[in-house]
């Protein structure tokens, strides 16, 4: 239950809608009960009035008739506005919840998010948040309204018969308290399981769809489908059991209401026979007792699914409560003084607490405007260097400075403005080439976009109008090399003093690679470029080369200097 508290607080931010919804629910329910109660009295009183001509003439048909009509209209109109207001309150809360959750995800950054699978995060963002609509619509409003209506109706009945009022109270406690408690107990494990199975099913289906090509190649399609079907069957079994519980509670509730009605009829008949109440009041009380169960009827189902709502809340709290991998100051503590400069001193970094060091006492200095090529075997820490500069991770020791100040002193906006990053793997969005490029520079003119495409040799290969070329989901209508180059063009377009490129020419033939690197370096005069690559054919075009091994710099110098050292790692790499 504690897991729900943050969300109740979030609901209170929309207290106008929340309380209006509750009030309208209360009035609608009272109108529905009033309609049945008054109708019961009116029908029997009219029948009795018709016994003699005199009483028929004296009986006032108009006032109760108007009352019945008034209750009927109030119930219909009230139901409409109640639905509008309660749903408005819920949707407002869900919308706020979604952006709140997304902001929490953003703060966590890659360092923390790698603990979650992306399909599972999507499931939390969509399905778990949707499951929380149960909280207000099906738990909070019906519970409070049922409590208020029950008290009012029992007080009304007590004016005519304390015995019937007592009987109604006991029946309401059974149907509105004990039955929901039992339903919650019965659905506790199943509701939780249902939510987790649904999440598991989505994760499996997404893997099945995304990995279709590889699964076909390696013959894993049937196994994956069978695994997804197994989860689905399990899910269906839980749904069936939940449906059985709902059916059972509905039946028990109907029996309780029926028994209460029969009891009220027996007690009321005795009161009529002993002239304590008028005969017309008997029908009125009977209808009133039966109608009040409408207030408690939704509760067993709501509480049966409460564990599902609580589990959804726990899953959201698990992500939102995770400590941020990296914390940014709200405002800059220092402003960039030497744009494009990089300085790392004795930096140690690891991805998780017990993982080996990915960077080990690494020191490095890059001057503004310098073009540096970073080489090293796979796993030597090249991408980790980018992760540090972009502050996706923080070092456990040492200092990282960018543009003359520690990276920790910049707000996230300032830090992002300092550098443009082409990371691995690249992320493209469904849409046109222009849509993807404009992300980096929304005001860029078509000629600027074409120019940057030219720099990466993409202007001639995507038809007559390359800017409008639709690249498909994640760039599926592009080749691997084209995808990389489009992402490279986007990185080039961002007007930042530092450009960090992680293997931008991967997948390109030697001729295109040479043209692309030349295009990039020519367009980056005055900008610092830090480029990671396994390819050395264009190494001479860089001002300096840095070679990493096991997380630290083992060689640094101009291409000529390193080439002159016979036993340099650079020469060994060139010889491969």
37 is a contact residue toward ligand ATP (CB under 6 A)? no
Of 161, 159, 157, 234, give the one whose Cα is nearest residue 194.
234
- Shortest CB 550 distance to ligand ATP, Å: 9
Of 374, 381, 417, the closest CA to residue 529 belongs to 374
Report the run of H or E that residue 188 belongs to, with start and end.
helix 179-210
The minimum distance between CB 357 and ligand ATP, in angstroms, equals: 9
Binding residues for ligand ATP, rule CB under 6 A, total 12
CA distance 543 to 548: 17
Rounded Cα distance between 333 and 411, Å, is: 8
Q: CB of 484: closest distance to ligand ATP in angstroms?
A: 14
Does position 505 interact with ligand ATP (CB under 6 A)? The reply is no
The residue among 249 and 383 lying less far from ligand ATP, judged by its C-beta, is 383
Q: Is 25 in the site for ligand ATP (CB under 6 A)?
A: no
Complex with ligand ATP: residue 10 or 421, whichever CB lies closer: 421
Rounded distance between C-alpha atoms, residue 448 and residue 434, angstroms: 11
The contact mask relative to ligand ATP for 89-118 (x = CB under 6 A, - = no) is -------------------------x----
CB of 576 to ligand ATP, least distance (A): 14
Is residue 480 near ligand ATP by the rule CB under 6 A?
A: no
Question: Using the rule CB under 6 A, is 576 a contact of ligand ATP?
Answer: no
Beta bridge partners of 557: 545
Q: Is 516 helix (H, G, I), strand (E, B) or coil?
A: helix
User: Using CB atoms within 10 A of its CB, is residue 285 exposed (0-12), middle (13-18) or buried (19+)?
Assistant: buried
- Min. distance of Cβ 423 from ligand ATP in angstroms? 10
Q: Give the number of C-alpha atoms closer than 13 A to the C-alpha of residue 395, restricted to the C-beta side.
A: 25
Shortest gap between Cβ of 569 and ligand ATP (angstroms)?
14
CA–chain centroid gap for 497, Å, is 35
Residue 496 touches ligand ATP, criterion: CB under 6 A:
no
Closer to ligand ATP by Cβ: residue 83 or 112:
112
Please report, as residue ranges, which positions from 326 to 385 form the binding site for ligand ATP (by CB under 6 A).
351, 355, 358, 376, 378-384
Q: Torsions phi, psi of 290, nearest 5? A: -65, -40
- Integer Cα distance of 183 and 175 in angstroms: 11
Retrieve residue 386's tokens: 């980018």
Of 328 and 392, the one with the shorter C-beta distance to ligand ATP is 392
Comparison of 1 and 355: residue with beta carbon closer to ligand ATP: 355
Q: What share of the chain is helix, strand, coil (3-state, %, to 5)?
A: 65, 10, 25
Cβ-based nearer residue to ligand ATP, 82 or 360: 360
- Closer CB to ligand ATP, 379 or 480, in the complex: 379
In angstroms, what is the minimal distance from the CB of 427 to ligand ATP? Answer: 16
Q: Phi and psi dihedrals of 499, rounded to 5?
A: -120, 120
Shortest spacing between CB 362 and ligand ATP, in angstroms: 11
Residue (of 367, 493, 480, 351) closest to 421 by Cα position: 493
Contact status, residue 517 vs residue 535, Cβ threshold 8 Å: no
CB 546 to ligand ATP: min, Å: 12
According to the binding rule CB under 6 A, does residue 569 interact with ligand ATP? no
* Three-state DSSP class for residue 36: helix
If the CB atoms of residues 392 and 410 are measured against ligand ATP, the closer one turns out to be 392
Chain contacts with ligand ATP (rule: CB under 6 A): 114, 351, 355, 358, 376, 378-384
């Amino acid at each position: 239950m504690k897991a729900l508290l943050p969300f109740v607080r979030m609901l209170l931010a929309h207290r106008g809608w929340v309380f209006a919804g509750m009030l309208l629910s209360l009035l609608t329910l009272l109108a529905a009960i009033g309609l049945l109660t008054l109708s019961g009295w009116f029908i029997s009183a009219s029948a009795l009035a018709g016994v003699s001509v005199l009483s028929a003439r004296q009986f006032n048909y108009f006032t109760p008739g108007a009352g019945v009509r008034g209750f009927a209209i109030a119930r219909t109109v009230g139901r409409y506005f109640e639905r509008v207001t309660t749903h408005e309150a819920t949707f407002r809360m869900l919308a706020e919840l979604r952006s709140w959750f997304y902001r929490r995800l953003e703060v966590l950054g890659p360092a923390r998010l790698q603990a979650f699978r992306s399909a599972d995060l999507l499931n939390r963002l969509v399905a778990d948040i949707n499951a929380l609509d149960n909280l207000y619509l099906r738990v909070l409003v019906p519970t409070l309204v049922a409590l208020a209506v029950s008290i009012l109706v029992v007080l009304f009945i007590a004016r005519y018969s304390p015995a019937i009022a007592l009987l109604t109270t006991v029946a309401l406690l059974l149907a509105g308290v004990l039955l929901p408690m039992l339903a919650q107990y019965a659905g506790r494990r199943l509701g939780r399981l249902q939510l987790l199975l649904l999440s598991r099913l989505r994760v499996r289906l997404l893997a099945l769809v995304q990995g279709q090509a590889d699964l076909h190649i390696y013959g894993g399609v049937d196994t994956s489908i069978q695994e997804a079907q197994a989860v689905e069957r399990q899910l269906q079994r839980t749904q069936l059991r939940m449906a059985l519980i709902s059916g059972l509670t509905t039946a028990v509730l109907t029996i309780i209401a029926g028994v209460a009605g029969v009891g009220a009829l027996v007690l009321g008949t005795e009161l009529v026979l002993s002239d304590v109440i008028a005969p017309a009041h008997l029908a009125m009380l009977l209808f009133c007792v039966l109608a009040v169960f409408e207030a408690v009827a939704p509760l067993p189902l709501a509480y049966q699914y409460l564990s599902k709502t609580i589990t959804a809340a726990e899953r959201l709290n698990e992500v939102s409560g995770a400590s941020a991998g990296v914390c940014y100051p709200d405002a800059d503590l220092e402003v960039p003084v030497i744009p494009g400069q990089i300085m790392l001193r004795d930096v140690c970094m690891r991805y998780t607490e017990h993982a080996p060091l990915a960077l080990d006492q690494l020191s490095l200095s890059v001057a503004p405007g310098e073009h540096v090529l970073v080489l090293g075997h796979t796993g030597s820490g090249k991408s980790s260097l980018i992760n540090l500069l972009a502050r996706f991770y923080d070092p456990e020791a040492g200092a990282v400075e960018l543009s003359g100040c520690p990276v920790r002193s910049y707000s996230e906006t300032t830090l992002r403005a300092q550098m443009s990053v082409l990371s691995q793997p690249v992320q493209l969005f469904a849409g046109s080439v222009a849509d993807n490029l404009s992300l980096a520079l929304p005001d860029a003119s078509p000629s600027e976009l074409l120019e940057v495409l030219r720099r990466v040799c993409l202007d001639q290969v995507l038809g007559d109008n390359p800017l409008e070329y639709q690249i498909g989901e994640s760039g599926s209508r592009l080749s691997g090399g084209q995808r990389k180059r489009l992402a490279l063009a986007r990185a080039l377009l961002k007007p930042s003093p530092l450009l960090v490129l992680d293997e931008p020419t991967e997948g390109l033939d030697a001729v295109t690679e040479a043209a692309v690197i030349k295009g990039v370096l020519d367009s980056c005069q005055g900008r610092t470029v830090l480029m990671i690559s396994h390819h050395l054919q264009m190494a001479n075009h860089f001002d300096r080369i840095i070679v990493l091994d096991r997380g630290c710099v083992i060689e640094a110098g101009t291409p000529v200097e390193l080439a002159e050292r016979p036993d340099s790692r650079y020469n060994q790499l060139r010889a491969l």
